[in-house]
Amino acid sequence: MIGRTPALEGLQDLLGYRFVDAALLDRALTHASVKGSATPRADNERLEFLGDRVLGLAIAHALLRREGDAQAGPLSKRLHSLVSREACADVARNLGLGSALRLPGGETRRGGRGNETILADACEALLGALYLEAGFDVAAARIEALWGEKLEAPVDLAQTNPKSALQEWAAAAHQPAPTYRELHRSGPDHHPVFLVEVRIGEGWAAEGQGGSIQAAQKAAALALLRQVAARP
């Protein structure tokens, strides 16, 4: 892994913005599990809360401009997909954000720099910090640039809402509705990992893993949809 200082430089180059307030950038990239901070709120949770709202508004604006004739329902599905944990984590990876994170040693050894939830949360925190320093117009412009390929990509219901897509397939195939069951939970309270099984009748089953029950269910549904597509 590259050192943190070069990682911070590379992150800002790819973001297309250089922070004047280095402490604000550092806070956006500091995970809540880091102890011994100089102030009680020196981690990125509050910035994540803000960045989530900034991202949603910026993407909503972009969708309205690009899809002027679309109805609210399809727009909501697109928005949900574009601001999802998976989308944010993908953008974070493209920025090399994992190497720039401030994490405790134990979290790093457990693979925290590649963890989807940690990356997605830090990506939102970074956007919150960008909004605070540069304002909404700059933040929205950088979001559109970072999400450009995703904004142009065609809608895929299986990726956007795999649980709904799986339920629709089951109904069309005259199968029972999918049922989900939690198999296992591991990890600390601030970073849990859930393993979930989805089953349709007696012939179809798959497992999925995620940082929440909902994320694990989505992963399981997507895995089963891929089984369905692969079977003749």
Please identify every residue annotated as catalytic: 52, 124
Distance CA 82, CA 123 (A): 13
Pair of tokens at residue 223: 């895995």
Q: What share of the chain is helix, strand, coil (3-state, %, to 5)?
A: 60, 10, 30
Residue with tokens 């198999």: 183
Of 83, 228, 65, nearest in space to 162 by CA: 228
**How does strand 179-186 pair with strand 204-210?**
unpaired
Q: How many residues does the chain have?
A: 232
